[in-house]
Chain A
Amino acid sequence: MSETDFDVVVVGAGPAGSCAALSLAKAGHSVLLVERGPFAGSKNMYGGVVYPRILDALIPNWWEEAPIQRWVTRRQTMVMTPTQSLTIDYRSDTWAKPPYNGATAYRPDFDFWLAGKAEAAGAQLICSTTVTGLLRDGHGRTIGVRTDRPDGDITARLVIACDGVNSFLAKEAGLYRRDVDANSFTLGVKETIALPTDVINERFGVRGREGADIEIIGCTGDVNGGGFIYTNLDTIGVGVVLKLSKLGAQRQRPEEIIANLKAHPSVAPLVEGGEVKEYSAHLIPEAGYDMIPTLAGDGLLIAGDAAGLCLAAGIWLEGVNFALASGMYAGDAAADALRSDDTSAAGLAGYRQRLERTFVLKDHAKLRHIPHLVLGDRLQQEYPQMVANIVERMFRVDNPRPKPGIRRILTQERRHAGIRWRDLAKDTWTAMRGFG
């Protein structure tokens, strides 16, 4: 085999790319990590919470050094209508202590730190360099990347594309499914809003490094999606995710939908007086298992958002952990393939096997119908109102009338909301199959 510049080129220094590079560097391989932004993390934004448990395998005691804003100790799920809201609020002391659970962090900090770990392990990081395409031999096998630097071709025995949700490399290699379109993505928009630390602590009922994470359904009007609010040390993140196919059709702009969320009587007291410090936007692959592309080609692996690995399952909204894990397993599988000197798609099959054995594809397979349910019209446009009305009637004291039975309220409110038994049963079955 002819000499290559590196054993592996990893494209994109987000969580997937940095974990892939870290894993390979630890195994003693020469790795180049290429990032198009001026620093790792500079192109990245997210819905605010990272669950870094999987990092235990790569960076023991990562929590002692990771640039975390707050540890999530309050996890709330809110069902909202324009005038009502119902919140399930869970709080845990355990999550405020090592080894922790979820954390808020700024991606430009977190991703920068993680890329530094890959560098420290021996990977070479080059920033401000956009990969413009794959280098391929006459058989279509990937043998490196083309960059926008002068003389910017870089050869490698293997390329790992962690180039994000728009992965031009996976598209170029023909790994994407044909049926992936605007229905498979949501647009996330977010305001980072400055508030004094003690005001945040008071409003969200947290102290010290404890933080809150609120996920909301029913707050995005006619555009199917969801909302979120979470706490950093001296800012809060407030945003919405919006189904792309609905966004274009409903003639409502993203920033208007955030403004409506902020004006909601349950949200306004949390955000008022804050100053918008940064506005941001990013696409999210939300179709789950049904959009996951072919994960390996000859000389090529894809991981993270590039592989569609975001979990949008309503009560579970995760992406960074799937990126960390898929990147790490891609690195491990690549190391195996390099050792046996077979980096063909067949030689790289260990990657998919690793994902199938672990939460990465197990969660996605089990929850494959949930993203469609959560972003579907009934759950978005009909159920929140029905649920809020049921709760309103349960807690309303209508004396001198006696209390209505709950069964009667449920029956009446279902009818009132115009939801057919058949659909309700179908959705309940889908939910039970996925979550059960």
Chain B
Amino acid sequence: MNRWPEISFEDRMSTVHFDVHERAHITVDGDSCHGCTTKACVVACPANLFVPTSDGGIVFNYEQCFECGTCYMVCNVEGAITWTYPDGGHGVVFRRT
């Protein structure tokens, strides 16, 4: 019963309002990711912010983050993902949730 979503992921994320701050509130230590075989963050992040690179690392973008915490919860490499809340007033702004 697998079926791809009826809207593109880009359109899906364009329904969400973000007030992006210049400071990245999440940092990923790419070196730790090279040894990681599961890379659960890539599958689990609802905003799809973790993208594997061909050399086994991870490219990460903080801008469309829901601030849910899934990434650091599923990460099995101690210290690979450093997570804080964005600065006050910034980040995701829900409206009809």
Contacts and interface: CB of A to CB of B under 8 A. Distances in A.
- In which size bucket is the chain B interface? 35 or more
Contact of A37 (B66, B83, B93): B93
Nearest to A45: B97
A130 B43 contact: no
A127 to B, nearest CB: 7
- In which size bucket is the chain A interface? 35 or more
Contact of B96 (A168, A185, A277): A277
Interface string B72-97: 01100000000111111101111111
Nearest to B38: A248
B43 A43 contact: no
A404 B76 CA distance: 51
Contact of A187 (B38, B70, B97): B70
Contact of A255 (B2, B12, B67): B12
A220 B38 CA distance: 21
Nearest to A237: B97
B1 A260 contact: yes
Contacts of B44: 187, 244, 247-248, 254
Contact of A260 (B3, B12, B93): B3
Dominant secondary structure of chain B at its interface with chain A: loop
A158 interface: no
Interface stretch (A93-101, A116-124, A280-288, A407-415): A280-288
A107 interface: yes
B88 A106 contact: no
Interface string B52-78: 000000000000001111100110000
A106 to B, nearest CB: 5
Contacts of B69: 165-166, 283
A248 B88 contact: no
Interface string A14-45: 00000000000000000000001110011111
A283 B68 contact: yes
Given A148-B88, A255-B5, A108 B95 contact: yes
Nearest to B86: A130
A190 B16 CA distance: 12
B95 A276 contact: no
Interface string A262-302: 11100000000000111111110000000000000000000
A112 to B, nearest CB: 11
A192 interface: yes
B46 interface: yes
A259 B3 contact: yes
22 contacts: A37-B89, A38-B19, A41-B94, A43-B91, A44-B94, A82-B1, A106-B95, A108-B97, A147-B88, A149-B88, A166-B69, A247-B44, A247-B74, A248-B44, A253-B48, A255-B9, A256-B4, A256-B5, A259-B5, A276-B15, A278-B15, A280-B94
Given A42-B92, A130-B86, A249-B40, 7 more contacts: A36-B86, A190-B97, A260-B3, A277-B96, A279-B15, A279-B16, A280-B97
Which 5 pairs between the two chains have the least Cβ-Cβ distance?
Answer: A248-B40, A128-B89, A45-B97, A281-B46, A259-B5
